[in-house]
Amino acid sequence: MSSTPSDEPDWDLYRSFLHVLREGSLSGAARALGTTQPTIGRRLEALEAALGCTLFIRTPTGLQATDAARRLAAPAEAMAAQAGALRRAASAGQDEVAGTVRLTASETIGGEVLPPILAELQAAHPAIRIELALTKRNEDLLQREADIAVRMVRPSQEALVARRLGTLAIGLYAHRRYVERRGLPSVIDELAGHALIGFDRDASALRALQQSGLALAPEDFAFRSDSEHAQHAALLASLGIGACQTGIAARHPDLLPVLPGQVRFELEMWLAMHEDLRNEPRIRRVFDFLADGLERYARG
């Protein structure tokens, strides 16, 4: 029997499936969606019946995704991104500086740099609502997973509007309490005798360190995490010597520079959006506002 449009499962079924996949349980999906576990169970059963396949196998340790579920994951994520884009587009009129704008940035930029800029934005445009996704992954602007992205590499897609905001300097720092306990290295080779804060499994970050002249592997770090926030917290807790943007370190008088004349990294900062959004008033206004604030930050 051929299917008709009315036979297609609605978005609520796919959304419930996606949250079960993300959370690993019916109860977790129910909490995320603000509904009940039986409701999620019924939606999942309805989707399996509509698609004619089993999506999850119940095991003593929880729900295990089947091959069919894994094949559905990427299309379902794309549907979620499009649903979010539709919701944001519907939240404002064509000529209004109001509505929702979704941003994506790294943990450091999103957690440390953007908040004061967004406070200024809120004061100037209280009708704009901001969604902020903190991730190292470059969310796909082409698929409308986000409206605006702050990136540390130059965007390469032709369909994006990108603006270079400046260069961020990154140096090594240690908390004053750590220096009182362990002292400071005077040359790069002496770093081996210190507790270092660094990355765990982020291969690209480790390669960047090696290209800068610091041939470090994960086992060289006394504290390692791929979370920028965790590294920053470890630095402020005096766990060891770690990297920090100079603009952020300047906010913490107890962070002392380590080998300032010998170790320094630089990252370009870019702001990007899809070219189709450049004429949407709320997107353009937020883009220009962020560009101005982040350029000021980059200039120090």
Q: State pLDDT tens for residues 89-135.
A: 665 555 567 899 999 999 999 999 999 999 999 999 999 999 999 98
| Ordered DSSP codes for the chain | ----GGGSPPHHHHHHHHHHHHHSSHHHHHHHHTS-HHHHHHHHHHHHHHHTS--EEEETTEEEE-HHHHHHHHHHHHHHHHHHHHHHHHTS-TT-S-EEEEEEE-HHIIIIIHHHHHHHHHHH-TTEEEEEEE-SS---GGGTS-SEEEESS----TTEEEEEEEEEEEEEEEEHHHHHHH---SSGGGGGGS-BEE-SS-HHHHHHHHHTT----GGG-SEE-S-HHHHHHHHHTT-SBEEEEHHHHTT-TTEEEESTTT--EEEEEEEEEEGGGTT-HHHHHHHHHHHHHHHHHHH-
Q: State pLDDT tens for residues 59-86.
A: 877 788 898 888 888 888 877 777 766 6
* Per-residue confidence band for 14, with pLDDT thresholds at 50, 70 and 90: confident
Averaged confidence pLDDT in the chain: 86
* Per-residue confidence band for 1, with pLDDT thresholds at 50, 70 and 90: very low
Alpha carbons 17 and 180: distance in angstroms, whole number: 53
Poorest-confidence range of 92-96, 225-229, 283-287? Answer: 92-96
pTM here is: 0.67
* Residue 219 near residue 212, CB atoms below 8 Å: no
pLDDT of residue 275: 87
Q: State pLDDT tens for residues 160-214.
A: 889 999 999 999 999 999 999 999 999 988 998 999 999 888 877 777 776 666 7
CATH of 101-166+269-299, one of 3.40.190.10, 3.40.630.30, 3.40.50.300, 3.90.380.10: 3.40.190.10
Percent of the chain with pLDDT over 90: 44
pLDDT of residue 2: 38
Fold exhibited by the domain 168-267:
D-Maltodextrin-Binding Protein; domain 2 (3.40.190)
Within the chain, which residue ranges are assigned CATH 1.10.10.10?
A: 5-88
Looking at this protein, which amino acid is placed at residue 47?
Answer: L
CATH of 5-88, one of 1.10.630.10, 1.10.10.10, 1.10.1200.10, 2.30.130.10: 1.10.10.10
Within the chain, which residue ranges are assigned CATH 3.40.190.10?
A: 101-166+269-299, 168-267
pLDDT of residue 219: 86
* Whether pLDDT at 149 is above 60: yes
